[in-house]
Amino acid sequence: MKNNLLKKLSSGLLITALTATVFVGCGNSSADAGEEVKDASVEAGADAADSNAGFRTLDEIKESGTINIGVFSDKSPFGYVDENGEYAGYDVYFAERIGEDLGVEINYVSTEAANRIEYLQTGKVDIILANFTVTEERAQEVDFALPYMNVALGVVSPSDAVIESLDDIGEDDQVIVISGTTAETYLTKNYPYIKLQKYDAYAEAKTAFENGNGVAWANDNTEVIAFAIENEGYTVGIPELGDQDTIAPAVTKGNETLLNWLNEELDTLGDENFFHADYEATLLDTYGADYEDTLVVEQ
């Protein structure tokens, strides 16, 4: 019995020792993997405070000399690439001032509506300036700074078959939306019976609408108004749908240093009436003077 007891104790100690060795080995592997992820982030220009942070602090951005800002590349007049291959538009005008005041170069990252949150969470960008409407759901995943623009949803349709109410949409009709936008969320939640035709990119949705793939296109009212002004034969039959919202810069959740700097920057720019100047430089030709005070937000 004594020998059997000793054997059992020895076996138990051996198992404990082996288990401890396995856990130690796993811990080292995780650390090594974390270092590899961190190194990859540094090479991509998006190094983080540590391997799990997912963002760069304000000091790290300044030290790197470059800030990564996500903007649209195909959504005139807010964010687009002009005939010279340069980024331009309302959001880009703001981005240029951010780079100037931070004293860093800007690396523009072309983004689509559906990947704005993903790009922040993966550290691909430091800031999103891409017509990002503030919602409670999004605020659970990213941190929004103070707003710089007002927005609501709108619906544009062909002038020979104007949709003036969502009740005008038949059960077999389809409405075009862009995935990841507030238009998709609003219609899915409040009008689940309306059939949606979803596209990932603004340019794809625009082409589909022009080709008659849907009876209407629901998007931010600023965008559908601009589309109707720039393209003959279309009318914004529903200029405001749902609640009035705001557009704001967004940073990765928990990046307090960059968020605080942005809020201070927005306060300073508000004292200058910066966004009125931005509007007049980038949006006036599209919307005219009548929309300026309605759309612009100065802190």
**Alpha helices, DSSP H, located in 74-181:** 90-102, 116-121, 136-139
The CA-CA-CA angle for residues 179, 185, 189, to 5°, reads 140
Residue 176 pLDDT: 98
Question: Cα(270)–Cα(103) distance, rounded to whole angstroms?
Answer: 20
Residue with token string 């780079």: 99
Question: Cα(137)–Cα(144) distance, rounded to whole angstroms?
Answer: 12
Classify 249 as helix, strand or coil. coil
Question: Cα(101)–Cα(118) distance, rounded to whole angstroms?
Answer: 26
pLDDT digits 0-9 by tens, 216-225: 999 999 999 9
Residue 53 pLDDT: 56
What's the chain's average pLDDT? 85
Question: Cα(6)–Cα(3) distance, rounded to whole angstroms?
Answer: 5
Residue 294 pLDDT: 87
Residue 291 pLDDT: 86
Strand-pairing partners, residue 216, are: 175
pLDDT digits 0-9 by tens, 184-214: 999 999 999 999 999 999 999 999 999 999 9
Name the percent of the chain lying above pLDDT 90: 77
* Lowest pLDDT segment from 37-46, 76-85, 95-104: 37-46
Between strands 195-199 and 74-75, the pairing is unpaired
Q: Tell me the Ramachandran region of residue 180: left when phi exceeds 0, alpha when psi lies from -120 to 50, beta otherwise.
A: left
**Alpha helices, DSSP H, located in the chain:** 2-43, 58-64, 90-102, 116-121, 136-139, 182-190, 202-210, 221-230, 256-272, 274-282, 284-287, 292-295
Residue with token string 């969470």: 121
Strand-pairing partners, residue 71, are: 110
Classify 223 as helix, strand or coil. helix
Question: Cα(179)–Cα(204) distance, rounded to whole angstroms?
Answer: 11
What distances in angstroms separate CA 244 from CA 9, 154, 167, 225, one per listed residue?
A: 71, 11, 21, 15
pLDDT band at 116 (very low <50, low <70, confident <90, very high): very high
- pLDDT surpassing 90 at residue 130: yes
Phi, psi dihedral angles at 195 (to 5 degrees): -80, 130
pLDDT band at 37 (very low <50, low <70, confident <90, very high): very low
Mean pLDDT of 77-106: 97
- pLDDT surpassing 60 at residue 170: yes
- pLDDT surpassing 80 at residue 274: yes
For 147, counting Cβ atoms within 10 Å of its Cβ (0-12 exposed, 13-18 middle, 19+ buried), the class is buried
Mean pLDDT of 131-137: 94
The closest alpha carbon to 138, from 155, 125, 121, belongs to 121
Mean pLDDT of 56-70: 98
pLDDT digits 0-9 by tens, 263-273: 999 999 999 99
Question: Cα(189)–Cα(135) distance, rounded to whole angstroms?
Answer: 14
Higher pLDDT, 268 or 48: 268
- pLDDT surpassing 90 at residue 7: no
pTM of the entire predicted model: 0.74
